[in-house]
Amino acid sequence: MKKLALFTFVLLCTSVDAKPSITQTQALQIFKAGQYTGKFNPKNLTSTSCEMLDNEKHCTVARIEFYKDINGDGKKEALIIDEAQTIYAYGNTGQAFTLLSQDKSGFREIASEIAIPKLLKTKGKNGYPDIELGGPGFCFSVLRYNGKIYQHHRFEYEGKACK
């Protein structure tokens, strides 16, 4: 029993902090494509931007949540999460995201919202998963890929339609 508990603890700890397998050069390309021009930290592959508001310094830290193929076409997508250090940047949600798709010339933005993204099992065009835009509340917008970008498709909560 102790071995099982220890195994579970180790498994949880290693999966929570898992970083995408990505080089510094790839990370810089992804941040540039997502228009994240803050100070790049090569150690933890983040981009930090700060500005002065009401005589206080407010910062956001962008990180690459994943760099993987999410639609089975053999090309990797990158999800950038931009977390606010204060409520000034993104309100109660506390973060924004940008989803980039690889194409012949590099990366292009296919979704960008102030929300907590959750990839769903339902799919849009070209096998791209629907994205639930999470945050405060109980009825969330779901985006669906139309072949070029993600657009609003429906509202749902815990897998059921809502208004």
This prediction has a pTM of: 0.82
pLDDT tens digits for range 50-84: 888 788 888 889 999 999 999 999 999 999 999 87
Residue type, 142: V
Q: How far apart (Å, rounded) are the C-alpha atoms in residues 118 and 131? A: 5
First-to-last C-alpha distance (Å) of the chain: 46
pLDDT at 76: 95
Residue 35 lies in a domain: yes
Structural domain tally of the chain? 1
Phi, psi of 32 (to 5 degrees): -65, -45
| Residue span of the structural domain in which 150 resides | 19-161
| Cβ neighbours of residue 12 closer than 8 Å, sequence gap 6 or more | none
Residue 65 lies in a domain: yes
Which residues in the chain come in under a pLDDT of 70?
Answer: 1-19, 85-93
